[in-house]
Amino acid sequence: MEPFKTFSAVAAPLDMLNVDTDQVIPARFLSRPLDERYGTYLFHDLRFDADGNEKPEFVMNREGFRAAQVLVADRNFGCGSSRENAVTALAAAGFKAVIAPSFGDIFYSNSLKNGFLPIRLPDETCRRLREMLHEGPGGEVTVDLESQTVTAPDQSTWSFEIDPFQKNKVLQGLDDIDFTMQFLGEIETFEQGYDARMTWVTTRPG
Amino acid sequence: MPATMFDKIWDAHAILEREGNTLLHVAFHLCHDGSAGGFAKLKERGIEVRRPDRMAGTPDHYVPTTSRRIEDLATEDMRRIFRVFGENFTANGITHFPVEDARQGIIHVVGPEQGFTQPGLVIVCGDSHTSTHGAVGAIAFGIGSSEVAHVMATQALWQKRPKTMRITINGERPFGVTGKDAVLAIIAHIGAVGGTGYAVEYAGSLIRAFSMEERLTVCNMSIEAGARCGMIAPDEKTFDYLKGRPFAPAGAEWDKALAHWQGLPSDPGAAFDREEALDGAALAPMVTWGTSPENAVAVTDRVPDPADEADEERRAALEGAIDYMGLAAGQAITDIEVDRVFIGSCTNSRIEDLRAAAKVVEGRRIRVGHAFVSPGSGLIKKQAEEEGLDRVFTEAGFEWRESACSMCVGMNGDIARPGERTASTSNRNFRGRQGPGVRTHLVSPAMAAAAAVSGRFADVREFG
């Protein structure tokens, strides 16, 4: 995983509550290989009509937002299915972070595993930011994970919370499996005790 | 100090802590055809599967319901996923039930049916409806493919301890009300984001009165309220359900396990971070009208009027949902006509679900364009056929199909046409979930059957 670096980029507002991962990437694309088309599956049915033409009202199709790398969403972004393809599709389309008041739990943790930053900011802040972006399409925000801040196009700066353990892993680009492998001794010791106590736990036929 | 069931199970699986995060041992890892990505990630790095003795799997997402032949799958990508699924499991010596095995089915149906799903365990699976398994008194939650690979490699996961919430439903079961209606009422009550960050324990006399099948349905939809997991204390019903299952402990091991399981329920006086309560006696058969599972109302109710909503964002969301669903504000639920009916999915495809639907269907004809049943597993299908349920359905005009996730998610090609309206026993009414432009209404199996024979939503309590 690449270490996460501070960046400034165009942000796009997405004014929808409960954007589920079926909206982020419809199920029919989940068996497709990860190739140069992958980014086009992102928000596919919101973005394109049945004939594959762009829906002009969708934010990603509007002038000023086409180069967006940050999404500013509403409550419960990424709820629903556990498909990690939602994060893959966002990243494939060039996004590096999503800002929202709340996230689906599994989407949130999938994001961090991929060095993609889910940022929780209060409802009112997200609303202000979306309004600001609507008023000035092409407005850039700065995302600084080190200092845990988001800077808006009008230079307002807001702090966000992130678990320090997760923050460190994303900042360093640590691989989760490698990281855990350093505790292999503890895992083995634990398993010996667990297996001795819970002797009936196995998926093998008895 | 009195402990919650969640605390007891969590603590028994905590390997170590780092900066407030727990490395949690995984007792069982359930897999399906979508788990292929995890195996691929391990292969890339040359890592072995750490505990094949703690994994089990069956394909469900891409499985066709009209055939048992892999060659009949729609695309080469799907066929490849299937081949890789079988190869991965065989190569690692993992217990699995391929398509041609009678025990194949939806992993969240097969887990409890085979006895993999046991009280007191941490159970994970690369699917959000893993919360189902909490119904026996386990911590069970869905994970993404990176975490699937991590569990395959280490049999452990880094987790932040969630807060706990108890949702209590007391009261006598009203006539015609099922576990599905209860969980839809819960989601409508706390909202689609209401459970986010929480491990939920369902309690109260109505929950205890629910069968194991209904408890599995309730816990299954915990994720639709955003909860990390849902769980119900094990009791005699749980133990009776598990006893004699192929992978449940037997003999002296059963006694040992039982003693452990009996100590799992939350201690009297255990503190939860949040308490919610619903009046069981006030529940009614439910129907969702919108595009989030929280958009659920009683069948006797109406589509809400956005004009009544003060919050601007919520009003816009209501308007958007009503527009997508092709409904009118204030329309009576029983005035909504239905095109297709789907009875199946990890939420409602167990034998009891099929019996409840068949009871309504018996002696009637469908008045919708298309209706079909996909039993939750090959074994359930067989049992239903032994009970003659398949004939009840087919004589009414339903198709009787094979077991898969099917039209809950449409990944195997079982989808409806744009603009069509479905009554579905599944768990998600998201836009496009059952095909682009399809309008999904979530209901219980009996309510789906009532819709099928009425051509519109109907109150199942009016069926003899």
Q: Which of B55, B428, B437 sits opposite A203 (nearest CB)?
A: B55
Q: Which of B156, B192, B226 sits opposite A180 (nearest CB)?
A: B156
Phi and psi torsions of B260, nearest 5°: -65, -45
> With contact defined as beta carbons under 8 Å apart, do B355 and B325 qualify?
no
The interface predicted TM-score (ipTM) is 0.96
Which residue in this structure is represented by tokens 């409904």? B327
Note the pLDDT tens digit of each residue in A149-187: 999 999 999 999 999 999 999 999 999 999 999 999 999
Which residues on chain B are in Cβ contact (under 8 Å) with A166? Answer: 21
Residue of B128, B258, B324 to mutate, interface with A, max A Cβ within 10 Å: B128
**Given this model, what pLDDT does residue B83 score?**
83
**Half-sphere exposure of A129 toward its Cβ, with a 13 Å CA cutoff?**
31
Q: Which of B144, B146, B410 sits opposite A28 (nearest CB)?
A: B410
Q: Who contacts B17 (Cβ-Cβ below 8 Å, separation ≥6)?
A: B23
Which residues on chain A are in Cβ contact (under 8 Å) with B12? Answer: 194
Q: Who contacts B198 (Cβ-Cβ below 8 Å, separation ≥6)?
A: B162, B163, B164, B165, B227, B228, B273, B274
d(CA B197, CA B163): 6
Could you tell me which residues are beta bridge partners of residue A142? A8, A151
Note the pLDDT tens digit of each residue in A42-66: 999 999 999 999 999 999 999 999 9
Q: How confident is the model at residue A16 (pLDDT cuts 50, 70, 90)?
A: very high
Which residues on chain B are in Cβ contact (under 8 Å) with A20? Answer: 292, 428, 430
**Given this model, what pLDDT does residue B7 score?**
98
- Chain B nearest CA to A158, separation (Å): 22
Q: What is the DSSP letter of A48?
A: B
Q: What is the DSSP letter of B302?
A: B
- Chain A nearest CA to B250, separation (Å): 9
- Chain B nearest CA to A59, separation (Å): 16
Which residues on chain A are in Cβ contact (under 8 Å) with B409? Answer: 27, 81
**Half-sphere exposure of A95 toward its Cβ, with a 13 Å CA cutoff?**
32
d(CA B248, CA B265): 19
Give Cα separations from B33 to B88, B320, B406 (angstroms). Answer: 10, 34, 13
The per-residue pLDDT string of chain B (464 residues; one tens digit each, 9 = 90 and over) reads 999 999 999 999 999 999 999 999 999 999 999 888 899 899 999 999 999 999 999 999 999 999 888 787 778 877 887 888 889 999 999 999 999 899 999 999 999 999 999 999 999 999 999 999 999 999 999 999 999 999 999 999 999 999 999 999 999 999 999 999 999 999 999 999 999 999 999 999 999 999 999 999 999 999 999 999 999 999 999 999 999 999 999 999 999 999 999 999 999 999 999 999 999 999 999 999 999 999 999 999 999 999 999 988 889 999 999 999 999 999 999 999 999 999 999 999 999 999 999 999 999 999 999 999 999 999 999 999 999 999 999 999 999 999 999 999 999 999 999 999 999 999 999 999 999 999 999 999 999 999 999 999 999 999 96
**Half-sphere exposure of B394 toward its Cβ, with a 13 Å CA cutoff?**
8
Q: Which of A96, A91, A122, A109 is nearest to A169 (CA)?
A: A109
Phi and psi torsions of A101, nearest 5°: -70, -35
Which residues on chain B are in Cβ contact (under 8 Å) with A16? Answer: 317, 320
